[in-house]
Structure 1
Amino acid sequence: MANDPPYAGSPLRTHCSTALQLISTVPVKRGLGQHATETLHPEAAADRLRHGANQAVRLSDSRCLASLSPPLRLEIDLHQPRSADLAAFVHGRTVVFDADTMTAAYGVLQLIVALTQTGP
């Protein structure tokens, strides 16, 4: 479906749904476009973040965390033209990595983010 999240129908749907229930958010800005945002004053944002963090810590004791068993497959579709062009040198527009640990998967994700940053 057009409005379904990208993970709908994937084996991780249950894990993603569980994770979304465990995540606490504290909105402090709203995107208005690629280069514009509407933001709170830094002091107001800091107060909201502090309050939200305290609330999340209190709730964390009562929540059951989901766990994933290795191997963990990280699959990223790159849509920005520059990023997709770089990925095409390796393997199309999708980058896939199998990791034995969440730390390794996160490290590769950070690497991909760093390598695909659009610069001047």
Structure 2
Amino acid sequence: MLISVDMEGISGIVHPTETNPDRYDYERGRALMTAEANAVIAGVLDAEPDAVVWVADAHGPFRNLLPEELDRRAHLVRGRPRPLGMLGGLDENTGAVLLVGYHARAGGGPAVLAHTMSGDILDVRVAGRSLGEIGLNAAMAGHLGVPVVLLSGDDTACAELADLVPSAVTVTVKQVLGQAAAVALHPEESRERLRAAAADAITRRGQVPPLTIAGPLDVEVDLYSPATVDLATLVPGVSRAGGDRTVTFTAADVAELYRLVLLLVQLATIKPG
């Protein structure tokens, strides 16, 4: 089993000061994130005591979860860059994916701290449909035949997965009030719900189909910076599509789409000299 843990969708977290390593409240955010990961690990193992559990740290630098506080029964996938990004550790033999602390896509709000991969990606459209981190990761798992069986986050994030995978379990740990405001469950209440929901999701994972999107895929990506568009057009197969902010490409399959989006995120970190 693979548990991918992001930070913006953790109960109680509403502001970048709680998710940014350079800001004052980050250590509290890390502790809350680690505790919710532990609740889900416990739930998976309640349902399937012999399961091998991998936990992918999937926020920012991928070095947020506190290793010494993480349930010792789990294997921690930490650091970047790495194959499959937020899904580090995933392969065809993974039994299921559980997305913890996830957030809604850019433009999909109102939603707490909504974005897609980074603030530099404004939208990713696959055959005209916008996909954020939830959709891209669910599709990548589905490409390998692995279902996403659980997601936790705010109510908008939960609705986003429910639209893609109606039979998946969702746990709403906060109700959106705005980009940096929500009504959150107490962290202990969230953890209790997460543990029970993870056990339920694993017990009935055979009833949840993988999200499959057949290729070839026509993709449009809106980028914040025109300079990133300039860099992106140096990648074979990537073209500018009108204006200064959109690039297009055709991906043979979801795996190629996923890799190219990760590459665009990295290109956006390169600033003009």
State the TM-score, normalizing by the size of structure 1. Answer: 0.55
CA distance in 2, matches of 1:49, 1:114: 32
Which of 93, 98, 107 is the matching residue for 2:250?
A: 98
SS in 1 for 2:171: coil
What fraction of aligned residue pairs are identical, expressed as a percent? Answer: 30
* Equivalent residues in 2 for 1:35-46, closer than 5 Å: 35-46=180-191
CA distance in 2, matches of 1:38, 1:62: 32
* Shift in Å, 1:46: 1.8
State the TM-score, normalizing by the size of structure 2. Answer: 0.29
Are the structure 2 counterparts of residues 86 and 58 from structure 1 closer, same or farther at C-alpha, using a change threshold of 3 Å? farther
Are the structure 2 counterparts of residues 17 and 23 from structure 1 closer, same or farther at C-alpha, using a change threshold of 3 Å? closer
How many pairs are equivalent? Answer: 103
* Equivalent residues in 2 for 1:1-120, closer than 5 Å: 19-77=164-222, 83=224, 85=226, 89=230, 91=240, 92-112=244-264
Larger helix proportion, structure 1 or 2? 1
Paired residues of 1:74 and 1:96 also in contact (CA < 8 A): yes
Are the structure 2 counterparts of residues 48 and 70 from structure 1 closer, same or farther at C-alpha, using a change threshold of 3 Å? same
Any stretches of 5+ residues in structure 2 without a counterpart?
Answer: 1-124, 130-160, 234-239
Deviation digits for residues 63-107 of structure 1, max 9, x if unmatched?
3334333323333345xxxx1655654634334343334333223
Paired residues of 2:168 and 2:208 also in contact (CA < 8 A): no
Paired residues of 1:87 and 1:94 also in contact (CA < 8 A): no
CA distance in 2, matches of 1:44, 1:88: 44
1:3 corresponds in structure 2 to none
Are the structure 2 counterparts of residues 42 and 60 from structure 1 closer, same or farther at C-alpha, using a change threshold of 3 Å? same
Any stretches of 5+ residues in structure 1 without a counterpart?
Answer: 1-6
SS in 2 for 1:65: coil
CA distance in 1, matches of 2:178, 2:215: 38
CA distance in 2, matches of 1:57, 1:41: 24
Report the aligned-residue RMSD.
Answer: 3.8
Larger strand proportion, structure 1 or 2? 2
CA distance in 2, matches of 1:52, 1:115: 38
